[in-house]
Structure 1
Amino acid sequence: HDLSVLHAPQNFRPWFRNYARIVIPRLARRAARVITVSETTRQDVMEHLGLPEERVVAVPNGVDGRYRQATSSRKDLPPRHVLSVGTLEPRKNLVRLFEAVRLLAERPATRDIVLVHAGGYGWLADDIVRAAHSPALRGRVRLLGYVTQEELASLYSQARLLAYPSLFEGFGLPVLEAMASGCPVVTSDRSSLPEVAGDAAVLVDPESVEAIAEGIRRVWEDDALAADLTVRGLARAQLFSWERTARLTADVYESVLQ
């Protein structure tokens, strides 16, 4: 899926760092083919594991059909809010996202902003939870915890935008899910995220709180931009399906067996 453990080992448990350093390269070198979920990860595998390009094949993820047709909605959420999605872990860059929300809440045009986050606990989640409950945020961040796919589809359809400033992703499925749901996207200009988003998202520097805040502000305030991103996102999402993923995966297996 990705080699983020090699790029930011401090974000992973020690046992997995050792596994990635010792076991994964051995398995990859023994494999007839290595399938990755993006061209970005394909290039990463060739560079860091030393595999020839003919043995590494990119097969992109798809998007579940339920994200294209969500109808129900939660009544306990603000009528206008920003959504973020993902496990509570350092790689998701949530502390900077929370700080961006704090900056926006101090400005008159965005003083009513609220961030709703969906996702379970991960590695070092306690630090992120403390940041979310910081007095400086004054309740601007709501942590929903784990949600089902049906609930997540509803959340995408309700949100003003998805903010996904992750530091590193092998694919970034929430970006695709949001686009399929008609939800405008603000995401990182790093790793595979520009590859997945194409021209259908606002891209920001994930290491800059100000850049994240500005990306969110643009979509929050500009109805025309939000509508344009929705149209572009829906069209972009049509390029991805699990049927296509299955077909391309089968093609790789057949090429090995021939």
Structure 2
Amino acid sequence: MIIGIDGNEANNKFRVGVGKYAYELLWALYRKIDIKNEDKMSFQIYLQNTKMHDLPDEREWWTYVKIGSPGWWIEKDLMPYLWSNKLRKNKPPDVFLSPNHYSPIPIPIPSVISIMDLAFHKYPLYFKKSDLFKLKYWTYFSVHQAKKILTISHFTKNEITKYYNIDKSKIEVTYLGIDKVKFNKYVKDKKDEIKKLEIKYGMKGPYLLFIGTAQPRKNLIRLIEAFHEFIKNHEDIKLVIAGMISEGRGGWMYDSTFKIISDLDLKDRIIMTGYISDKDLPILIGGCKALLMPSLYEGFGLPVIEAMSIGIPVVISKNSSLEEIGGKVAIYIDNPYNIDSIVTSLDKLISLGKNELNRKIDEGYKWVRQFNWDNTAKKTLTVLNAFKQ
């Protein structure tokens, strides 16, 4: 069986969101195929740029195919390539997997796509017009063309059925996972590394941590306003906002974030780090007092389980996928549109006694055992295997 995969999201220096999902999924699939490869599976990973060094090495059953050049690559280069192979009977893939919303249209072989979230349906004004057009229409056609759809939470599965009138049997939930080598309870013991990172970003003293690309649905404005109120009674703590701003594809509509930090005179209390590397991310989480995610909408919320796996309490919104992912372990913000509600949740966090805090941390360790990339790969392979010729 030959499986074709769009590897471009994984072949990216700045991996967040779908990029991280694609990268971890490729590695998990690679690990699933043992040396004997008794199922006789082979993978063709299609790229528009030269393969990055940290992607899996080529094997007889795992190859990279560089096609064309950047710029409308899926339609300009990938689609003609797949059709050419099909028409020439040149061993085309049995199935094509796109780890994002976008598939070649039309495609000559069965396609499987992955959908992270449908925030652009719920909050269209929070997206740039050019991105919104692409997300709305290309996702629509990709969804209806796909033989199977992978998604990362039951919440998003329900969203897909709601917005696209797709039967639930066509959608498979494959939770995201945790790299247990990087994210584990021993990270907090790396005091020297935590100290170096604090010096690097000027994070002297205790800090609360937000992780996410700067964009409107992350609710940063209200978080900053809530933090401004919160520190009136907690003067020694800082807020670190970590995530892409201008790096890579960058964030968007974030000018008001910088403005409110300035207007509220919080430049000495709020640190915006920009993109954090995979190497630094666990250390950054390990040094914080709590992870904050006051989002208006999430398809999963990967930092939530990464923080829990390290033993860091989380304060998250009570909406979208976050209740599903946070379970009974998280501290919830009942109304993330309300600044007082955010402050109340932060106060609840700070007021936790040592025993209650340790209990939450232990519950978090147990809760996140269900999230691992091997399970993600196993479920994904089960879906793909159904198309074996």
TM-score by length of 2: 0.63
| Partner SS state of residue 150, structure 2 | strand
1:216 aligns with 2:346: yes
For 1:36, the equivalent position in structure 2 comes to 151
Answer whether contact 1:6 1:20 (CA < 8 A) is retained: no
Please tell me whether residue 206 in structure 1 is matched to residue 336 in structure 2: yes
Tell me the CA shift for residue 20 of structure 1. Answer: 2.5
Alignment pair present for 1:98 and 2:229: no
Question: Which residue among 272, 281, 284 is the counterpart of 1:155?
Answer: 284
SS of alignment partner, residue 162 of structure 1: strand
Q: Is the 1:83–1:159 Cα contact (8 Å) retained in structure 2?
A: yes
For residue 238 of structure 1, what is the amino acid of its counterpart?
A: R
Aligned pairs for 1:79-118 within 5 A? 79-107=205-233, 110-118=234-242
Partner of 2:130: 15
Distance 1:78 1:241 in 2: 33
Separation in 2, partners of 1:16, 1:116: 28
Superposed CA RMSD in Å reads 1.5
Q: SS state of the match for residue 186, structure 1?
A: strand
- Name which one, 1 or 2, has greater alpha-carbon Rg: 2
- Report how far residue 138 of structure 1 moved: 5.7
Q: Is residue 51 of structure 2 the alignment partner of residue 51 of structure 1? A: no
* Per-residue deviation, 1:229: 2.1
What is the CA-CA distance between 1:90 and the residue it aligns to? 0.8
**Farther off after superposition, 13-22 or 245-254:** 13-22
Equivalent residue in structure 2 for 1:247, among 378, 385, 388: 378
Counterpart of 2:327, as a letter, is G
**Greater share of helix:** 1
- Inter-CA distance 139–33: structure 2 relative to 1 (3 Å threshold): same
TM-score (normalizing by structure 1): 0.94
Question: How far off is 1:111 after superposition?
Answer: 2.5
Q: Percent identical across equivalent pairs? A: 28
2:256 to 124, 127, 132: 127
Contact conserved, 1:185 with 1:229, CA < 8 A, in 2?
A: no
**Deviation of 1:176 (Å):** 1.1
Per the alignment, residue 204 of structure 2 pairs with 78
Q: Does 1:166 align with 2:282?
A: no
1:112 Cα deviation after fit: 2.1
One-letter code of the match for 1:82? L
Structure 2: segments with no counterpart, 5+ residues:
1-115, 246-250
Residue type at the aligned position of 2:140: P
Are the aligned partners of 2:205 and 2:236 in contact in 1 as well (CA < 8 Å)?
no
Separation in structure 1 between the aligned mates of residue 387 and residue 332 of structure 2, nearest angstrom: 38
SS in 2 for 1:111: coil
Q: Which position in structure 2 is the counterpart of 1:64?
A: 179
How far apart are the structure 2 equivalents of 1:138 and 1:129? Answer: 9
Conserved? CA contact 1:164–1:186, under 8 Å: yes
1:234 aligns with 2:365: yes
AA of the residue aligned to 2:227: V
SS in 2 for 1:195: helix
CA distance in 2: counterparts of 1:256 and 1:7, whole angstroms = 33
How many angstroms apart in 2 are the aligned matches of 1:214 and 1:111?
16
* CA displacement 1:110-154 (0-9 Å, x = unmatched): 222211111111011222122223344362211111111221100
Show structure 1 runs of 4+ deviating over 4 A. Answer: none
Greater relative contact order structure (CA < 8 Å, 6+ sep):
1
